């Protein structure tokens, strides 16, 4: 009479193991969400900048006063920072204006079910001081390469602290050619890996606060990235 009990116990154990595996698969982040893709790291995109400044201290209440735009972003969705390198859309076919509406340029048209929506919030984002001749560094962790990069800068008179960003607010200042997968400077930082591509650009006549808007058309798929970096042109 003990054999049936043993068999029943073995069946229950197999069920528990199967359920545990299923739960693990459901709750694990997808591989690649935090280790692949990339973003503008200098001047930093909004969500990468928030991660740089607060990733090790993202629950510090001082952020609300010291860095209020990052504070609202962390409150809205911390995964926008943990997945700083996934701000892209797919199958755009080069028609960026149609895919990304005005007012949603920094979230790539509320991509990833709105994960990055807080990036569109208008306000006084931390801005990096740069010269009119500057370099955008785009990190390519997965070594996708690029069909091209487009670098835009907001027109003089646009105020990113009070105005929503639209396509008509931007001026294209640099368009590159293609980059082969793995082309760029290898990164020694273990948190990054991959390579970084440096893109020289110039924005004559700009002073004060602006947004540098970079589109990275990855080469491995029709997968463009849309990256807002806040800057202060020092002249």
Read off the pLDDT of residues 55-87 as tens digits, 9 standing for 90 and up: 999 999 999 999 999 999 999 999 999 999 999
pTM: 0.85
The better pLDDT of the pair 158, 21 is held by 158
* pLDDT for 189: 83
Stretch 87-110: mean pLDDT, rounded?
97
Contact 205, 79 (CB under 8 A): no
**CA pair distance 162, 159, nearest whole angstrom:** 6
Query: Alpha carbon of 138 to those of 65, 183, 215: distances in Å?
Result: 29, 12, 10
User: What is the tally of helices (H) and strands (E) in the chain?
Assistant: 7, 9
* pLDDT for 191: 81
Beta bridge partners of 137: 42, 198
In the predicted structure, residue 186 carries a pLDDT above the cut 80: yes
> Among 31-40, 97-106, 205-214, where is mean pLDDT lowest?
31-40
Closest CA to 46 of 21, 17, 68: 68
In the predicted structure, residue 21 carries a pLDDT above the cut 90: no
Place of tokens 């793995």: 182
């Amino acid at each position: 009479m003990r054999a049936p009990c043993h068999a029943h116990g073995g069946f229950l154990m197999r069920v528990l193991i199967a359920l545990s595996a299923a739960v693990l698969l459901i709750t694990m982040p997808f591989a690649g969400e935090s280790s692949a893709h990339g973003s503008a790291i200098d001047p930093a995109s909004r969500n990468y900048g928030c991660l740089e400044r607060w990733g090790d201290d993202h629950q510090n209440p001082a952020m609300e006063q010291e860095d209020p735009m990052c504070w609202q972003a962390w409150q809205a969705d911390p995964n926008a920072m943990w997945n700083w390198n996934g701000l892209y859309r797919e199958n755009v076919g080069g028609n960026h204006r149609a895919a990304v509406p005005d007012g949603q340029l920094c979230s790539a048209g509320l991509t990833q079910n709105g994960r990055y929506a807080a990036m569109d919030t208008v306000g006084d984002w931390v801005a990096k001081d740069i010269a009119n001749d500057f370099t955008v560094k785009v990190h390519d962790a997965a070594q996708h390469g690029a069909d091209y990069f487009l670098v835009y800068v907001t027109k003089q008179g646009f105020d990113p602290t009070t105005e929503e960003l639209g396509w008509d607010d931007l001026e294209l200042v640099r368009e590159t050619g293609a980059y082969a997968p793995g082309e760029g400077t290898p990164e020694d930082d273990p948190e990054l890996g991959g390579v970084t591509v440096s893109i020289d650009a110039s924005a004559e006549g700009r002073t004060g606060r602006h947004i540098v808007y970079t589109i990275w058309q990855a080469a491995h798929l029709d997968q463009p990235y849309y990256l807002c970096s806040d800057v202060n042109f020092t002249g």
